[in-house]
A and B are shown apart, each in its own frame.
Chain A
């Protein structure tokens, strides 16, 4: 396919793993919603940092340590630019998006939520944006309300004002990891604020694939992971408004997060150190910074446009080839979805499907995708999920379709 806005062939050469063959066949990696592959630029930046510049950050006077600290803080600046946050110290490095969401629930939640207070979530949340709130239900008796879905897997906003009435927080995904649905984040933030609630955005699936602008959204918190946007695992990001972060109690206690410690207590450091106890993932931060520069070099607008083309081709190809034998969950209009597809294929269980696809090196996720409440809404215990990124193209949709055909041969449906 030559009409793509991206030169996918050139991009693929920058990902060493994508030239790997298994059993003499190329890798068809369709599991980037799970975790993305890493470009040479990220691998090299991390190696170079460990070979040349590795040292502790924020705590030693020698030049090497200053260099490492500058590199670490440089990554924070890259993240600020990437999501258009107002202030660089509003960005907290965490372990992953899950930890970022837990930080909000534990620190903001404990400081601001009492028995009977309402937090609004949606039916399409990942467990990472459900379980921390369930923990607050158990701990202090808050109430959870849920935004339901429309038949085509978008948020049903008809009752949103009532759901938000009296709520303290609205925490929602910007893009479903199961359905691929992109939610109207700006509208949701405004609805939250109109009701006097704060808006917490789970950007884990959205940020790697789209232009992100927390100021245009009017969000209060944003959580996302590095490993889904071509960066290393082991590091994630929480962005929060300065006033909210300042008013919150600290998260983990330890080194780096304190201003002073005495026998009778402690005072916290300024942002962002207040929320970064202990030695952080230093090399991973360097890798995250390199991943952001890599993606910016290609352009998030171009990546989104490319993925809309691939999504459109995938929807057309799979429905044309398999008709009623395939059920693709989520919106059919690519304006409202990313290139992540959960589907049911004939009566073949997703695990069996994934096993058969693996014979052709087609890597898809099978399971509940850490979204069991949503799976219950869909009436499925599990789905298969194919997810595409900047290094995938239409030809891999065709390989997926061919591989699905071979599953039929084995199970005889």
Chain B
């Protein structure tokens, strides 16, 4: 069995203890809520998108160290990035989680701190924890495409 050190890397625990970009953004920020129906974890993502750039992001919700640290690192990684680049990052992250095919021709996207979540792949039941924030982000991006918050 892979050791817990592969899973609970120090940087993950740091983001869990001190999550970055916690909070909410007022409308017209786009907003999405993601649930993990199996375990009850919940992630909320608020996005300000202006001229095709994610100018601000806030994250709410509750969950385990993996889901919360993934959300925290994600928020840092996407803030200030063009939407196209954010989508590429989502794809890159999901390929690392081995739930999407890696795209050989895709432009190089740097994961930075997110590489620390690589070890999650060795614990397949936890992949859904790591990916929850990213699915919620994708949903927030599509509500943003549709002209803002569709959840209220």
Q: Which of A's residues lie within 8 Å of B, judged by CB?
A: 22-23, 349-352, 355-356, 359, 366-368, 372, 375, 381-382, 410-412
Whether the pair B13, A349 counts as a contact (CB closer than 8 A) is no
Chain A contacts for B13, CB-based, 8 A: 411-412
Whether the pair B1, A23 counts as a contact (CB closer than 8 A) is yes
What's the minimum C-beta distance from A383 to chain B, rounded to whole angstroms? Answer: 9
Interface string of B59-91 (1 = CB under 8 A from A): 000111110000000000000000000000000
Interface: B7 (CB within 8 A):
yes
Chain A contacts for B4, CB-based, 8 A: 355-356, 359, 410
- Nearest to A383 among chain B residues (CB) is B40
Whether the pair A381, B1 counts as a contact (CB closer than 8 A) is no
- Nearest to B8 among chain A residues (CB) is A410
Whether the pair A349, B64 counts as a contact (CB closer than 8 A) is yes
- A355-B7, A359-B1 known; A349+B123 contact, CB < 8 A: no
In the bound complex, CA of A410 to CA of B5 (Å): 9
What's the minimum C-beta distance from B40 to chain A, rounded to whole angstroms? Answer: 4
Chain B contacts for A366, CB-based, 8 A: 39
Chain A contacts for B62, CB-based, 8 A: 381
Whether the pair B39, A367 counts as a contact (CB closer than 8 A) is yes
- 27 residue pairs A–B, Cβ–Cβ below 8 Å: A22-B1, A23-B1, A349-B63, A349-B64, A349-B65, A351-B41, A351-B63, A351-B64, A351-B66, A351-B126, A352-B65, A355-B7, A356-B4, A366-B39, A367-B38, A367-B40, A368-B40, A372-B40, A375-B40, A381-B42, A381-B62, A381-B63, A382-B39, A410-B4, A410-B8, A411-B8, A411-B65
Size category of the binding interface on chain B: 10 to 19
Interface string of B1-36 (1 = CB under 8 A from A): 100100110000100000000000000000000000
Q: Which of B's residues lie within 8 Å of A, judged by CB?
A: 1, 4, 7-8, 13, 38-42, 62-66, 123, 126, 129
What's the minimum C-beta distance from A374 to chain B, rounded to whole angstroms? Answer: 11
In the bound complex, CA of A372 to CA of B42 (Å): 13
Chain B contacts for A411, CB-based, 8 A: 8, 13, 65
Contact of B39 among A23, A351, A356, A412 (CB under 8 A): A351
In the bound complex, CA of A18 to CA of B37 (Å): 30
Chain A contacts for B126, CB-based, 8 A: 351, 355
Whether the pair A381, B40 counts as a contact (CB closer than 8 A) is yes
Chain B contacts for A381, CB-based, 8 A: 40-42, 62-63
What's the minimum C-beta distance from A371 to chain B, rounded to whole angstroms? Answer: 10
3 nearest interchain CB pairs?
A351-B64, A368-B40, A349-B64
In the bound complex, CA of A23 to CA of B2 (Å): 11
In the bound complex, CA of A366 to CA of B63 (Å): 11
Chain B contacts for A372, CB-based, 8 A: 40
- Nearest to B40 among chain A residues (CB) is A368
Chain A contacts for B129, CB-based, 8 A: 351
In the bound complex, CA of A391 to CA of B126 (Å): 29
